[in-house]
Amino acid sequence: MTLLDYLKAKQLLDKYGIHSIESAYVKSAEEAARFSKGKPIVLKVLSGKALHKSKAGLVRLNLYTEQQIASAYKELYAKAQKLRPYNILAQHMSESGVEIIIGGRTDSQFGKVLLIGLGGIYVEVFRDFALRIAPITRKEAGDMLDQMRSSNVITHGGKNAKQIEELLMKVSALLVKNPEISELDLNPVIVTEKGYEVVDIRVLK
């Protein structure tokens, strides 16, 4: 199984109209500072040798000033040398909201499986998730939300239900049209009253 390059994965999401947070690879602290345009950013080391970035200390959040960006870049650059080949990814900070996971995998029996769950670091503790076989109908997207204990929290009392249902339909289409994808994690996807933003992407082929 191989991990798809982050920006390629982002492009794939773009193609299906799935909105993910603005991201770019940066080769220097100056490039990272230019990317931030004065807004807070995140820096991450991406490498096939470290799948769990946060646990390995390869993520630095909330970098405002040029000084913060420069020191974080220097630190991550040093750590990354052991993880070649690697990229350093700069991303805008997401708004705060409820973290969910949307994912997919290929089941040998039934084909593409679509998942939505309450996300964040407690995904496997709460185990509040719903699964369907893709492709799904709009009605089934709604059923997935209804099935979860946390549906009201996720949809902010129904305010963004429409956007999340549409997101599920789009991920369903992506899975069906790209049979070579064996596993997909959009985790976390930050949902607010107004909509959603995919913050991290992992596509395995």
Partner 1 sequence: MTDGRKPLDISSALDPKSVAVIGASRDPDKVGSIILQNYVSSGYAGKLYPINPNADEILGFKAYKSVLELKGKIDTAVIAIPAEFVPKVMAECGKAGVKSVVVVSGGFSEVGNTKLQEELVKVADKYCMPTIGPNCLGVMDPRTRVDTLFLPTYKISRPEIGGVSFMAQSGAVGSTVLDLISGEGFGLSKFISYGNAAHVDETDILEYLIKDRETKVIVMYLEGIKRGKDFFEAAKRASRIKPVVVLKAGRTSAGIKAAHSHTAALAGDYEVQEAVFRQAGFTIAEDLSDLLYYAKVLESEKAPKGPRVAIVTDGGGAGVLTADAIASLSDLKMAEFSNTTKAAIKKTMPPLVNAANPLDLAGDAEETRYSNALSILSNDDNVDMLIVIALFQTPGADSKLASKLIEYKEKCEKPMIVISIGAEYTETHKKMMESSGLPVYDSPASASRALSALYKYYQFRSSR
Point out which residues bind partner 1 (CB under 8 A): 1, 51, 101, 103-105, 107-111, 113, 115, 117, 123-124, 127, 129-133, 139-140, 143, 147, 183-185, 187, 202, 204
| Nearer residue to partner 1 within complex by CB, 21 or 115 | 115
CB 75 within 8 A of CB 170: no
How far out from the chain centre does Cα 171 lie? 12
Collapsed DSSP state (helix, strand, coil) of residue 179: coil
Quote the least distance from Cβ 171 to partner 1, whole Å: 11
Nearer to partner 1, 29 or 168 (CB): 168
Shorter beta-carbon distance to partner 1: residue 26 or 164: 164
* DSSP bridge pairs for 103: 115, 185
Q: DSSP state, 49?
A: T
User: Please, what is the minimum distance in Å from the beta carbon of residue 159 to partner 1?
Assistant: 20
Which of residues 76 and 168 has its CB atom nearest to partner 1 in the complex? 168
Q: Shortest Cβ distance from residue 156 to partner 1 (Å)? A: 19
Residue 111, helix vs strand vs coil: strand
CB of 131 to partner 1, least distance (A): 4
By CB atoms closer than 10 A (0-12, 13-18, 19+), residue 178 is middle
Residue number, 97 or 188, with CB nearest to partner 1: 188
Least distance in angstroms from the C-beta of 23 to partner 1: 19
- The region, left, alpha or beta by phi > 0 then psi within -120 to 50, assigned to residue 127 is left
